[in-house]
Amino acid sequence: MPDNEATLLFNLNKSSTLTSRDVLKHLTFHLCTSRRQTLLLEKALWTLFNAYKRKVGSVLFRQYLVTQAVWRRIIIMQRITLLVGLVLTLSLHRTVHAADPAFRDVTPDVRIDTSSGKIKKFGSPAVADLDRDGLPDLLFCHHDTTFTELYFNSPGGTFTKAPWGIHHDSHGLVPFPISPWHKSMRFILSVGGNNGETPNHPLMFQVDTSRVVSEVSVQAGIDKAGGRGRSAAFLDLSMGAHPYWPDVIFTNAHALQGPSQYAYENTGQQRFTLRTLNGGFENTRNGLITVTDLETDGVMEVVSFPILQIWKVTAPFHMIDISNQVLPPGMNRGAVAAVAEIDYDNDGDFDIYLARAWLGTWMTPGIYEDILLENRNGKYYDVSASAKIPRGTVSHGVTTADFDNDGYMDIHVTQYTGSDLFLMNNGDGTFRTVRDVIVHDDSTRGDNAVAVDYDMDGKVDLIMSEGDKDEISLGGTFHVLKNSMSDSSVGNFIHIRVGHPWDRSCTPLNARIFVKSGTLAVTRRVGSPGTSVSTSYLETVHVGLGDRTMVDVIYVRYTNGYVVERRNVSHGQTVVLGLL
C-alpha cells in the first residue's frame, strides 16, 4: 500500500477495495515502532473491529473509516500505543530528568514599555501572529486605565510597539483568521457598557502583513448589537454551511433587559450578519467563554463561565446546555476565573483545568479549589485528588505547555497573591507542584499568563499580566518571562505551524494535531493555551519530545475533516503543514 493511502482515506477522496485487515495492518505499521508493538496493536484493533462489525452488521472497514468516527479510531490506537509505550519507555528510553522550571524577567530587554506604571489589568494578554511572519505578537489590555497596546515580534526576540491603541473600558481581546483566502488577521476588542446603561458594540481590527492596523467594525457589520462586552469565541455555528468563514459569539455581562448574548454569522466578503441565538445560551449570565472538542469529532462545544456550563450546537445558532449530562454530579460549578484545555494524560482527548477563586461580592466568600476534569468518552470526571492538584489556591489564570519538553503537558496557574504554581506533569497521571518560581509582590496582584515560545528557541516562555482589575492601588505591569531552564534539563522539541488545508476548505482554527515519535503519541489543538477574559490564537504549536530526535508522523485534522500529514521529521525545527 502506498505511504499516502492513509491520508487519502482520511481525506475521503479516493475509493478503495482494501480489506479491513489490510487497513489495520497499514495503520498499525505507521503507529508503532517495533514488530512486537505492531502485533499487539493490530490484535487489539482487530478485536475492536470485529466487535463493531457484529454490532452494526457486515460492512467494509473502509466504509466505516469514511464516517466521522474515523478520528475516534485513531484515538483508540493512540491510547493503546500509550499503554504499550509506558512499558517500552521504562526499558528503552532515557527519560528527561525532572527539573524545576526556571524563568527570567526580560521585559525591558525585549523592549516592552512599562512607563505607564502599575495600572489595572483584566484577564489579558492575547497572543497571536498578527502580521503572519511566524512569530507571536502581543495584545495588552489595561482595563479602563489607559490605551490598549499591540507589540509586534521580530527575529531575535525583541518587540516593536505599534502606533495603535484604544482608550476604553477594555475587556476581552480575541484574534482570529479571516478566511483561507486572506493572509491578514483580525482581532476583537470587547468593551464595557456602563453597567448596562449604554451598551456598546464590540470593536474589530484588521492587521495586514505590513503591520498596518485598521478598524473594520462597521465594514465587517458587527455594529448591529451591543452590550456589556466581555469576550468572544469564533467557531462554526452554521453546522458546516461555510467552514471557511468562522462565525462568532459575543458574550456580555448580564443585560438590564433582553438577551445578554448574541452571535453573528460570517456570510462572506469579510462581513458578518446578526443572528438570533436559541436554545438557552442567549440568556446565560456567564460573560466569559472558550471552546473545546469534548466529543473528539472536530465539532466545538462551548464552555461558559464563571458558573461553569457546557453547551452543544445542535442546529444553526441553536445551543443547548449539556452540563448535567457531561459534568460530575454534585460538582460545585461556580467561581471559575479561567479555563485551559489540556490532554494531560496523552490519551488523545481533551481534558480541562478550571482555575477558581472568590471573584467578587456577588459570590459567597470562601475557598474555591481548582478542578481538573478528565474527559472519558465525552463525559468529565473530577480527577483533582488523584492527579495531586494542590488545594487552598486563589487562582485567577491558567495556561498549559510542555515547559520541560518531556512530552507531557504542564500547567501554570496564576495566583491572585503570593506564589504562582507550576504543575509539572509526571507522565503517570499526576503532577508535581513547584512554588516560588514566580512570586507577586504585596503591592500588586496576579492576573493571568499565556504560555508561548515567543523567541522560538524551543523552550516555552510566559507572557504574564499583573494587576487587579478594579483597584489601581494594586495595579501592575505586563512581563515577558523567558524560560531559562538549562538545555540539559529539557528535552527535544518540534514546532508545527498549521496553515490552511490545500483545498482552502477551512481555516486552521481549532484544527487537531496528532504527533507520534517512537512510543510518544500526543494531541494538540490550534487555539488558545488558556482563556480568562482574552483568548489567544497560536497557529504554531509547540510539542516536547523528550530525548527523541525523530518525529515519525504528524497528522493535522481540520474541523471539516480534511487531513494533511508529514513523516520522518527531525526535531528542533518548525514544520509547516498546509498553506500559509
pLDDT band, residue 89 (cuts 50/70/90): very low
Residue corresponding to grid cell 463525559: 379
Distance of CA 257 to the CA centre of its chain: 33
Q: Count other C-beta atoms under 10 Å from residue 19's C-beta.
A: 12
Looking at 483, 514, 546, the residue that finishes a domain is 483
* Whether residue 421 is found in the same domain as residue 519: no
pLDDT band, residue 137 (cuts 50/70/90): very high
Beta carbons within 8 Å of 468's beta carbon, 6+ residues apart: 120, 121, 444, 445, 447, 474, 475, 476
Looking at 483, 510, 544, the residue that finishes a domain is 483
pLDDT band, residue 365 (cuts 50/70/90): confident
Model confidence at 72: pLDDT above 70: no
* Whether residue 433 is found in the same domain as residue 513: no
* Whether residue 274 is found in the same domain as residue 192: yes
Q: What percent of the chain has pLDDT over 90?
A: 79
String of b and e for 499-520 (b: at least 16 CB within 10 Å)? bbbeeeebbbbbbbbbbbbbbb
CATH of the domain at 426: 2.130.10.10
Model confidence at 209: pLDDT above 60: yes
φ and ψ at residue 494, rounded to 5 degrees? -145, 145
75, 296 in Cβ contact below 8 A?
A: yes
The answer to whether residue 402 is domain-embedded is yes
pLDDT band, residue 431 (cuts 50/70/90): very high
Structure-block grid coordinates of residue 2: 502506498
Residue corresponding to grid cell 481533551: 350
pLDDT band, residue 73 (cuts 50/70/90): low
The answer to whether residue 76 is domain-embedded is no
pLDDT tens by residue, 7-56: 433 443 333 334 444 444 444 444 444 444 444 554 455 445 444 444 43
Average pLDDT over residues 283-303: 97
Integer Cα distance of 222 and 225 in angstroms: 7
Burial class (CB in 10 A: 0-12, 13-18, 19+), 391: exposed
Beta carbons within 8 Å of 547's beta carbon, 6+ residues apart: 93, 94, 95, 96, 491, 492
* Whether residue 509 is found in the same domain as residue 360: no
pLDDT tens by residue, 367-408: 899 999 999 999 999 999 999 999 999 999 999 999 999 999
* Whether residue 241 is found in the same domain as residue 381: yes
Burial class (CB in 10 A: 0-12, 13-18, 19+), 276: exposed
* Whether residue 242 is found in the same domain as residue 354: yes
pLDDT tens by residue, 224-247: 999 999 999 999 999 999 999 999
Q: In the prediction, which pLDDT does 193 show?
A: 85
Looking at 429, 456, 483, the residue that finishes a domain is 483
232 is in which domain, residue-wise?
Answer: 103-483
The answer to whether residue 7 is domain-embedded is no
pLDDT band, residue 363 (cuts 50/70/90): confident
527 has which bridge partners?
538
150, 130 in Cβ contact below 8 A?
A: yes
> At what angle are helices 35-56 and 20-31 packed, to 10 degrees?
140
140, 148 in Cβ contact below 8 A?
A: yes
The answer to whether residue 404 is domain-embedded is yes
Q: What percent of the chain has pLDDT over 70?
A: 83
Q: Which residue has the higher pLDDT, 235 or 95?
A: 235
95, 86 in Cβ contact below 8 A?
A: no
Integer Cα distance of 450 and 140 in angstroms: 12
Long-range contacts of 154-158 (CB under 8 A, 24+ apart): 156/455, 157/110, 157/454, 157/455, 157/457, 158/109, 158/110, 158/111
* Whether residue 376 is found in the same domain as residue 274: yes
* Whether residue 160 is found in the same domain as residue 267: yes
CA angle 165, 170, 175 (to 5 degrees): 70
* Whether residue 409 is found in the same domain as residue 274: yes
* Whether residue 194 is found in the same domain as residue 319: yes
112, 137 in Cβ contact below 8 A?
A: no
pLDDT tens by residue, 510-549: 999 999 999 999 999 999 999 999 999 999 999 999 999 9
Q: In the prediction, which pLDDT does 140 show?
A: 98
The answer to whether residue 98 is domain-embedded is no
Helices (H) and strands (E) in the chain, counts: 7, 35
pLDDT tens by residue, 482-517: 999 999 999 999 999 999 999 999 999 999 999 999
Which amino acid is present at 275?
R
pLDDT tens by residue, 263-286: 999 999 999 999 999 999 999 999
Integer Cα distance of 403 and 409 in angstroms: 8
String of b and e for 395-416 (b: at least 16 CB within 10 Å)? bbbbbbbbbbbbbbbbbbbbbb
* Whether residue 332 is found in the same domain as residue 254: yes
Model confidence at 311: pLDDT above 80: yes
Q: Which residue has the higher pLDDT, 2 or 512?
A: 512
Distance of CA 147 to the CA centre of its chain: 27
Please spell the DSSP secondary structure of 356-375, one letter per residue.
E---STTS--S----EEEEE
* Whether residue 497 is found in the same domain as residue 474: no
Overall number of domains in the chain: 2
Q: In the prediction, which pLDDT does 391 show?
A: 98
String of b and e for 107-131 (b: at least 16 CB within 10 Å)? beebebeeeeebbbbbbbbbbbbbb
Q: Count other C-beta atoms under 10 Å from residue 340's C-beta.
A: 27
Model confidence at 439: pLDDT above 80: yes
The answer to whether residue 24 is domain-embedded is no
CATH of the domain at 520: 2.60.40
Q: How far is CA 280 from CA 9, 276, 288, 305, 376, in A?
A: 38, 11, 16, 15, 26
Q: In the prediction, which pLDDT does 196 show?
A: 80
579, 501 in Cβ contact below 8 A?
A: yes
The answer to whether residue 38 is domain-embedded is no
The answer to whether residue 97 is domain-embedded is no
